[in-house]
Amino acid sequence: MAQAFGLYTHQRNNRIRSNLLIAGLFLLVYLTAWGLLLIAFGYGGVPRGRTVFGEAGRIFRSWFPFITAAAMLWVFIGFRMNVAMINAVTGAKGLAREDNPKLYRMLENLCISRGLPMPKLAIVESDALNAFASGVNDSQFTVSVTTGLLAQLNDAEVEAVLAHELTHIRNGDVRLMVIAVVIAGVISFIGEIVFRGFGRSRIRVSSDDAKKGSGIAIVVGIAVIAISWFLAVLIRLSLSRSREYLADAGAVELTKNPDAMISALLKISGRADIEGVPSGVMDMCFENDPDDFADLFSTHPSVTKRVQALIETAGGRMPAMPPHPPKIGERQDLPTMVEETAARGPWARPPQGPGPG
């Protein structure tokens, strides 16, 4: 975590991954469509003298242009409507300058300091302590924060969280996550519907004088959809956790206050889960509460690891007394230590060289 900005390799890799994810979407759509055809013909049967696999292949080839057009349409909708989709499932509502001048000014000052376009602001009515960024271009980028976060973090900590999300936008992480969540998510949705349907009904293969089904085709179709579903989930899990370390580092570079980031992480830990929000969207959030065995499959490193990285690399310090979040509705302001932190350099590193005396 040596640098936060100027990470051109990281940004380039994110652009490459974004293109690969879009290409992968088409592959997953083709696999899912073929699996659905196998299941449909396996159930309904095909005329005597034909095979289910042959008939499914023939229909798939004839429908290929329409399947491709449908995938392209979904990509278009995902790129144009992703913020609205995410806002719909999180309940986020736009926040104008006059609604919260202080919060707006915090984000605006961070943008001015780096010459970045000002993203939109949104608020989520939730007691959870969390934030996330969404959008795929400058006209869409939005930073959303929960009411719980604003109520229970002090100004320096809120600023650190905003700087973290702003770094995600600059590094191209948000665009990558939107593609993974919104676009690949439709495959997971189809897979879930199929398997829920099979969980509620018995497999009955058509077999009459005119048509004959195939249990093998049904099993293969289910397996193909299961593979597509697994790959769609794997897309999310394959996203590098390093993006969170880099965003933490970017926040420190912007605010010159690693202690505020550490304090924010400690307050948010264990209180980040936004009720009713899908796991894919939670992957986009500032914190996603991984713990124990689940940490192996999380898109976020644990708070412990993030704090350790800030201490070892950014010169941050643990609070003398770990911050205990106040009750909902109360506000707790910790000493920000901004002046002392700034004196230790742009990364707040401890002074190098021999000490006094």
**Confidence at residue 10, expressed as pLDDT on a 0 to 100 scale:** 66
**Per-chain mean pLDDT for the chain:** 79
- Tell me which of 144-148, 227-231, 296-300 is least confident: 296-300
Nearest one of 337, 333, 335 to 153, comparing CA atoms: 333
Q: Give the list of residues 6+ apart from residue 13 with CB closer than 8 angstroms, or none.
A: none
Question: Is 125 labeled as catalytic in the residue annotation?
Answer: no
**Confidence at residue 97, expressed as pLDDT on a 0 to 100 scale:** 93
At 336, is the secondary structure helix, strand, or coil? coil
Do residues 70 and 29 lie in contact, with contact meaning Cβ atoms separated by under 8 Å?
yes
Catalytic residue, from 157, 159, 165, 244: name it: 165
Nearest one of 295, 336, 299 to 316, comparing CA atoms: 336
Burial of 168 (0-12, 13-18, 19+ CB in 10 A): buried
Task: List, in sequence order, every residue forming a beta bridge with 95; answer none if it has no partner.
Answer: 121
pLDDT band for position 278 (cuts 50, 70, 90) = confident
For residues 232 and 188, give the distance between their C-alpha atoms in angstroms, rounded to a whole number.
6
Mean pLDDT (whole number) for 51-72 = 91
Do residues 194 and 1 lie in contact, with contact meaning Cβ atoms separated by under 8 Å?
no
* pLDDT(263) > 80: yes
For residues 277 and 132, give the distance between their C-alpha atoms in angstroms, rounded to a whole number.
12
* pLDDT(203) > 60: no
pLDDT digits (tens, 9 = 90+) for 265-274: 999 998 999 9
For residues 297 and 294, give the distance between their C-alpha atoms in angstroms, rounded to a whole number.
6
**Confidence at residue 276, expressed as pLDDT on a 0 to 100 scale:** 87
**Confidence at residue 34, expressed as pLDDT on a 0 to 100 scale:** 92
* pLDDT(295) > 70: no
What is the DSSP code string of 35-79?
HHHHHHHHHH-EETTS-HHHHHHHHHHHHHHHHHHHHHHHHHHHH
- Tell me which of 74-83, 125-134, 137-146 is least confident: 74-83
**Confidence at residue 252, expressed as pLDDT on a 0 to 100 scale:** 93
Share of the chain above pLDDT 90, in %: 34
pLDDT digits (tens, 9 = 90+) for 67-126: 999 888 888 888 889 899 899 999 999 999 999 999 999 999 999 988 889 999 999 999
